[in-house]
Amino acid sequence: MIETMTPPVVQDHSDELREKGYCIIRGAVPRETIAALDQDLAGDFARTPFCEGAFYGATTKRFGRLLIRSEHAAALVRHPGILATVEKLLSPWCDRIQLNVTQAIGIHPGAPAQMPHRDQDMWRAPVGEAEYLVNVIWPLTHFTAANGATMVWPSSHGANALAPEPPNTPVAAEMAPGDALLFLGSTLHGAGANTTDEVRRGIVIGYSLGWLKPYENQWLAYPPEIARSFPPELAALVGYRQHRPNLGNYEGQCPS
């Protein structure tokens, strides 16, 4: 069972994200949960072809729709403390948050470093005035500087996203299964190079403002016949919930 973070801890993580643009929560879930999830996804990792193009990586595998691939994915998506942190950070700009993506990523040996980028750039919106997104990376295997741990540029977020160069050098987010890396959509980051002979596997779960078009088409990923089996809170996160005043309605009513 996932432990709920107390309000002071949530506040601490919110402050750290506002200050540095990222934070790492050690032991956010039991390692057994991650091991079970990794086992459930093993077949999908084996069957999934490598990506195409320099950004997604020709030596990287990616696939989504994790909520129908493993029952353990919901425990990460609905982590109480992380949801509270995300809502605290994004609530100034929306009434409700939504699930933006769930994606598994396997970075294979020899993979080069990913181009540094900011995930908020998927939306053509003003920079430095609002936060649109919070991402959470959950390692399925140990993340090390050698095997491609996510590189994060501290304090490169917010108004600093307008600067021609980031104010600090990047750091490798080294983590163990059960840890979680949170970072803002305005934070500069990228996967590191994998110089080892092991595959670095992880999951990214993203949350965005409820009125934005999400990265992953949630209604196709989880159509009504699937979403009906979700708890109401999870169905709402994947889009079966109206945002004020009437965004995402169906026949004039909330799709719930």
List, for residues 73-128, the tens digit of each pLDDT value: 999 999 999 999 999 999 999 999 999 999 999 999 999 999 999 999 999 999 99
Is residue 229 a part of any domain in this protein? Answer: no
Asked whether 66 and 194 are in contact (CB, 8 A), the reply is: no
Question: How far is Cα 92 from Cα 210, in angstroms, rounded to an integer?
Answer: 12
- CA 33, distance to chain mean position in Å, is 17
Question: How far is Cα 97 from Cα 89, in angstroms, rounded to an integer?
Answer: 10
Is residue 50 a part of any domain in this protein? Answer: yes
Smallest CA-to-CA distance from 60 within 111, 135, 121, 1 is with: 111
Smallest CA-to-CA distance from 184 within 25, 23, 21, 15 is with: 21
Asked whether 61 and 121 are in contact (CB, 8 A), the reply is: no
Report the DSSP pairing between strands 60-63 and 189-191.
unpaired
* pLDDT tens digits along 9-29: 555 689 999 999 999 999 999
**What are the tokens at 214?**
């999400």
Q: What are phi and psi of 191, to 5 degrees?
A: -65, 140
Please, which pLDDT band fits residue 4 given cuts at 50, 70 and 90?
very low
Is residue 25 a part of any domain in this protein? Answer: yes
Instruction: CATH number of the domain at 169, please.
Output: 2.60.120.620
Is residue 219 a part of any domain in this protein? Answer: no
Residue 228 reports pLDDT greater than 70? yes
Residue 143 DSSP symbol: B
Full residue range of the structural domain in which residue 186 is found: 7-210
What region does 21 belong to: left with phi over 0, alpha with psi -120 to 50, or beta? left
* pLDDT tens digits along 138-166: 999 999 999 999 999 999 999 999 998 99
Is residue 239 a part of any domain in this protein? Answer: no
Number of domains in the chain: 1
Question: How far is Cα 35 from Cα 165, in angstroms, rounded to an integer?
Answer: 39
Is residue 2 a part of any domain in this protein? Answer: no
